[in-house]
Homo-oligomer: A and B are copies of this chain.
Amino acid sequence: MTRDEIPTPALLLDMDRFERNLERMAKHVRAAGKQLRPHAKTHRCPEIARRQIAAGALGVACAKLGEAEVMTRFGIHGLLITTEVVTPSAIRRLTRLVAEAPDTMVVVDNAENVDALARAAVEDRVTLNVMIDVDVGNRRTGVQPGEAALALARAVVHRGALRLRGLQGYAGHCAHVTGWEQRREASRAAMAPLMQTRARFEAEGLPVEIVAGGSTGTHDIDVELAGLTELQSGSYCVMDLDYRRIGGRADDALTEFEMALTVATTVVSVPTADRAMVDGGLKAFSTDKPFPPEAVECPGVTYGFAGDEHGRLTITDPARAPRLGDRIEFFPPHCDPTFNLYDRVWCVRGPRVEQVWDVAARGRSD
């Protein structure tokens, strides 16, 4: 099958670019003396996780228990679940998962939850690997750094069925700060309390084997922190417009990693001279960013959302007006929610479809 025969809209992965992205990140963390546990929420695709691990990653981070269940089913190990698991039925699913994949870790930010996890672990005869989730200014989940984190860690180590592994601090609010120097300043300020908390853990003899954090935006910033042991960057493997525009260390765009993910569409209507309609709309692309998809190597057109199933191309150069049936690929604004719209990703190398991979954890936000 060729690239041009894929039914559209479809999610395409450029294998050359993808493989170079994996190599570059592997080389980067190796050179920095760090480890990598990339976020699988980006792709939800076990085959991509497998290749990340083959390239040297410790495992993958999963945003949700449901994602982790799928990864385990596909034989992916070294999982860190980065959202708290709190309801009795979810905790039961977690202990079942850990019985199968004992190296799985889960984050906590609440003493009541620590208690519930410890009781379930005893009942179900498993040991739960636990990380303290610290709020480093992202104002999402996480206990406050310093004393609150220490108190929670003490609660964990007092429970025999729980094994404290360390700290997680995700500075999501720094990931997309534009300009490398500004981003570095923001991330250093955010991560400093996490490093101080780490020092207090060590002083008190609390286990802190792992300190995890970092995004694609801060992949070459957070490695400067001596106390950080592993990066959780996810988007680097495929990239998206949102990350490209934040700028790199030496460039106005973040170019260390290549734009490997596209959505292929077909021109289904050319109703007027200044307009062409493609078959990709709100259900084909992420819509959470304030900018639209960008046509790949297709000058003379700009994309605008035009409903669930349509994109409106405004033709700015009539000489390059698309024709009925033409195929046009777009870079998505945001890779994670775009992957989550598709059941499969078509792996292409030039004009050839090499493989088709299941986005097996798509929709598994539970």
Question: CB distance A271 to B307 under 8 Å?
Answer: no
Write the A264-284 contact mask toward B (1 if CB under 8 angstroms, else 0). 001111111001010110111
A305 to chain B: closest residue by CB: B288
Partner of A140, one of B84, B144, B306: B306
Judged by a CB distance under 8 angstroms, whether A23 is at the interface is no
Contact at B89–A41, with CB atoms within 8 Å? no
B10, B140, B270: the one within 8 Å of A310 (CB): B140
A301 to B286, CA, bound (A): 26
Interface contact A282-B275, CB-CB below 8 Å: no
A4 to B337 alpha-carbon distance, docked (Å): 27
Bound complex: CA of A212 vs CA of B340, how far in Å?
33
CB of A366 within 8 A of chain B? Answer: yes
Give Cα A41–Cα B334 distance, bound, in whole angstroms: 23
* CA–CA, A11 and B266, complex, Å: 31
Q: Is the interface of A mostly helix, strand, loop or mixed?
A: loop
Residue of B nearest to A42 (CB): B308
Q: A41-B308, A83-B309, A271-B109 are in contact. Are A366 and B7 (CB under 8 A)?
A: yes
Give chain B residues whose Cβ lies under 8 Å from the Cβ of A172. 307
Most buried by B among A8, A271, A306, A324: A271
Give A67's nearest chain B residue, CB to CB: B309
Cα-based distance from A268 to B309 in the complex (angstroms):
34
The answer to whether A279 touches B83 (Cβ under 8 A) is: yes
- List chain B residues, Cβ under 8 A from A5: 89
Q: Are A271 and B135 in contact (CB under 8 A)?
A: yes
B contact residues around A109 at 8 Å (CB): 269, 271
Residues of B within 8 A of A9 (CB): 365-366
Q: Out of B90, B269, B365, which one reaches A283, CB within 8 Å?
A: B365
Residues of chain B contacted by A280 (CB below 8 angstroms): 365
Give the residues in chain B near A84, CB-CB below 8 Å. 268-269
* Shortest distance between the CB of A344 and any CB in chain B (Å): 9
A341 interfacial by beta-carbon distance below 8 Å: yes
Q: Mark A349-365, 1 if CB is under 8 A from B, else 0.
A: 00000000000001101
CB of A86 within 8 Å of the partner chain: yes
Q: Determine if A287 is an interface residue (Cβ-Cβ < 8 Å).
A: yes
Find chain B residues with CB under 8 A from A110 CB: 269-270, 324
Question: Complex Cα distance A272/B138, Å?
Answer: 13
| Sampled A-B contacts (30; CB under 8 Å) | A5-B89, A9-B366, A83-B268, A83-B309, A84-B268, A86-B268, A86-B269, A86-B325, A87-B266, A90-B266, A109-B271, A110-B269, A110-B270, A110-B324, A135-B271, A139-B275, A140-B277, A140-B307, A140-B312, A143-B271, A144-B271, A279-B365, A280-B365, A283-B337, A287-B288, A287-B337, A308-B336, A308-B337, A308-B340, A340-B341
**Is A64 in contact with chain B by the CB < 8 A criterion?**
yes
Q: What CA separation (Å) do A5 and B366 show in the bound complex? A: 12
Minimum CB–CB distance from A79 to chain B (whole Å) comes to 15
A177-201 Cβ-contact flags toward B at 8 Å (1 or 0) = 0000000000000000000000000
| In the complex, per-residue mask of A126-143: 1 if CB is within 8 Å of any chain B CB, else 0 | 000000000100011111
On whether the beta carbons of A64 and B269 are closer than 8 Å, the reply is: no
CA of A83 to CA of B267, assembled, Å: 11
Inter-chain pairs besides A140-B269, A283-B336, 5 sampled, C-beta below 8 Å: A7-B66, A85-B268, A110-B270, A110-B324, A140-B312
Give Cα distance in the complex from A363 to B336, angstroms. 16
> Is A72 positioned at the interface, with any CB of B under 8 Å from its CB?
no
Report yes or no: A269 in contact with B142, Cβ–Cβ below 8 A: yes
